[in-house]
Amino acid sequence: MKRKKLPKLESEIIDTVSLRRNNTQEEWQLDVRKASIGPDSIDIRRLYGDSKMFTWDPGFTSTASCTSAITYIDGGAGQLLYRGYPIEQLAEHSDYMETCYLLLYGNLPQPEEKEQFVDEITNHTLIHGQLETFYKGFMRGAHPMAIMVGVVGALSAFYHDSTDINDPEQRKLAAHRMIAKMPTIAAYAYQYANGMAFPPPKNKFSYAENLLQMLFSVQSEDYVMNPKIVKAIDRFLILHADHEQNASTSTVRLAASSGANPFACVASGIASLWGPAHGGANEAVLKMLAQIGNKKNIAKYVAKAKDKNDPFRLMGFGHRVYKNFDPRATVMRDSAYEILEELGIKDPRMELAMELEQIALNDDYFKEKNLYPNVDFYSGIILSAIGLPTNMFTPMFAIGRTVGWLAHWKEMFSDPDFKIGRPRQIYVGEPARDYIQMNDRGHTNRPLRFNKFWQR
């Protein structure tokens, strides 16, 4: 079979649009660039130079920040493709290592490629002995995401032979190292919190098996593998592997655009992922279910979520791109049921989650705003069923997403239009004014101004 060549990152100009400033009658022609699927884009790069105006798009709701050939999402159709392959097919037939290869290298691996890739990743799973001592500097109760941001950032102090971003071999080594070490780093954060020794990675295990054994084995006893749990974790990793230009991936790209080393860039991605609006939502969902407590409180919390003056939101609901359903959530829900059945767990939180889902899905507010359960709504149920505490949920997401961050990081360097990321702003502050000497600033009996400053 002939292998498909990777698409180039340039997008063809297929049209122009005219932009007219009505007050002055000035007009500018802007190129329209073609996407292989999905919306085309208006190329506004010359706009500032030509018109002396910026475009304004807080939260990047209408802005494409790059060209990319890695992942495609059709939010209306609930479609997610990695390098063209539907997520449902990958979740059913692929495994995480193969998916990593696909995302990084653009095609499904041939048998020899897969073997070699798995071999390389397996050879990098250990972390430097000196890095293990790093953990001791953290409080036992530290959030594992805090440890991950620190330890992954610290990798750049250990692996000097893979920080030169201009050397292709070093780029590859850094990427393979991070994919390999992320389970070790996350599992050790968990073991450290429990006051346990760090189980070494074992080469005989698959990626998901190794992650599980490092999380759950103790010195006196080996972890007994349950193939269904291994499969569920492998699938969890596939479902989280990439999601195009989300907040953490954009953070990695922005950090990398300055030429920062890859370990520092991925640490910045982990930091961004941690927020409850993004990867931290899986932890927040379980906290929310605990807060709701039982079915009779659902109506009260749904009302709170709809109240503009209440900061409470239904965690695990809504998505910037998916406006119909999140295809990852569908797979994750089935997986959650399978695991609960396999382990014989009757988790009341699952019932609560199902009831909440039904009530929200039939509520006009949620229907009008197209708010559906996302991947994080169900993932916590699986992770909790296998015995992980809620604060380990987002580290699990980070393990899966590392390959996505790295695929985008690598892609950036192949982009002929690659530039340091540097957004502009609409400045609405004071115009230039002269410095006022202290004695000329007057006095106030009112509450000091700076105490109010931090309120929203």
Q: Which residues participate in catalysis according to the annotation?
A: 319, 376
Among positions 245, 374, 394, 402, the unique one binding ligand CMC when judged by CB under 6 A? 374
Q: Residue 107 CB, nearest distance to ligand CMC (Å)?
A: 25
Among positions 127, 375, 383, 406, the unique one binding ligand CMC when judged by CB under 6 A? 375
Among positions 376, 396, 403, 404, the unique one binding ligand CMC when judged by CB under 6 A? 376
Total chain residues near ligand CMC (CB under 6 A): 21
Q: Which is nearer to ligand CMC, 23 or 362 (CB)?
A: 362
Q: Angle at CA 199, nearest 5°, toward 347 and 341?
A: 20
The answer to whether the CB of 179 falls within 8 A of the CB of 121 is: yes
Q: Residue 313 CB, nearest distance to ligand CMC (Å)?
A: 4
- CA 95 to mean position of chain CA atoms: 19
Q: Residue 226 CB, nearest distance to ligand CMC (Å)?
A: 27
Name the segment binding ligand CMC (CB under 6 A); options: 91-99, 332-340, 370-378, 424-432.
370-378
Cα–Cα distance list, 75 to 9, 137, 451 (Å):
22, 43, 43
Secondary structure (3-state) at 289: helix
Cα–Cα distance list, 371 to 305, 306, 319, 357 (Å):
12, 12, 7, 10
Phi, psi of 34 (to 5 degrees): -90, 135
Determine, following the binding rule CB under 6 A, whether residue 357 of this chain makes contact with ligand CMC. no
Q: Which is nearer to ligand CMC, 54 or 60 (CB)?
A: 60
**Half-sphere exposure (Cβ direction) of 106: Cα atoms closer than 13 Å:** 11
For residue 325, give the amino acid letter.
F
Q: Residue 31 CB, nearest distance to ligand CMC (Å)?
A: 28
Q: Angle at CA 96, nearest 5°, toward 105 and 263?
A: 65
The answer to whether the CB of 318 falls within 8 A of the CB of 369 is: yes
| 143-182 footprint of ligand CMC as x/- string (CB under 6 A) | ----------------------------------------
Q: Residue 350 CB, nearest distance to ligand CMC (Å)?
A: 17
Among positions 8, 21, 46, 320, the unique one binding ligand CMC when judged by CB under 6 A? 320
- Footprint of ligand CMC on residues 91-150 (CB under 6 A)? none
Element (H, E) at 21: strand 13-21
Q: Residue 400 CB, nearest distance to ligand CMC (Å)?
A: 11
Nearest Cα neighbor of 74 from 314, 193, 244 is 244
Q: Which is nearer to ligand CMC, 205 or 236 (CB)?
A: 236
Among positions 371, 382, 403, 406, the unique one binding ligand CMC when judged by CB under 6 A? 371
User: How far, in Å, CA of 23 to CA of 25, rounded?
Assistant: 6
- Footprint of ligand CMC on residues 242-281 (CB under 6 A)? 243, 246, 277-279, 281
| 277-306 footprint of ligand CMC as x/- string (CB under 6 A) | xxx-x-----------------------x-
The token pair that represents 280 in the structure block:
């931290």
Q: Which is nearer to ligand CMC, 131 or 332 (CB)?
A: 332
Name the segment binding ligand CMC (CB under 6 A); options: 47-55, 176-184, 367-375, 422-430.
367-375
Among positions 150, 318, 395, 400, the unique one binding ligand CMC when judged by CB under 6 A? 318
Q: Which is nearer to ligand CMC, 75 or 200 (CB)?
A: 75
Residue 385, sorted as left (phi over 0), alpha (psi -120 to 50) or beta, turns out to be: alpha
Q: Residue 240 CB, nearest distance to ligand CMC (Å)?
A: 8
Q: Which is nearer to ligand CMC, 201 or 279 (CB)?
A: 279
**What per-residue string of b and e applies to 387-424 under the rule 16 or more CB within 10 Å gives b?**
ebebbbbbbbbbbbbbbbbbbbbbbbeeeeeeeebeee
Q: Which is nearer to ligand CMC, 252 or 371 (CB)?
A: 371
Close Cβ partners of 216 (under 8 Å, ≥ 6 residues apart): 223, 387
The token pair that represents 169 in the structure block:
């071999």
Name the segment binding ligand CMC (CB under 6 A); options: 37-45, 158-166, 216-224, 310-318.
310-318
Tell me the H-state helices in 258-326: 262-273, 281-292, 298-306
Cα–Cα distance list, 218 to 40, 134, 187, 393 (Å):
53, 20, 12, 20
Q: Residue 280 CB, nearest distance to ligand CMC (Å)?
A: 8
Strand ranges of the sheet holding 41-42, from the earlier edge strand across to the other edge: 13-21, 26-33, 41-42
Q: Residue 373 CB, nearest distance to ligand CMC (Å)?
A: 9
Among positions 165, 315, 356, 386, the unique one binding ligand CMC when judged by CB under 6 A? 315
Q: Which is nearer to ligand CMC, 277 or 345 (CB)?
A: 277
- Give me the helix-helix angle, 375-385 and 227-240, nearest 10°: 150
Q: Which residues here bind ligand CMC, judged by CB under 6 A? A: 59, 243, 246, 277-279, 281, 305, 313-320, 369, 371, 374-376
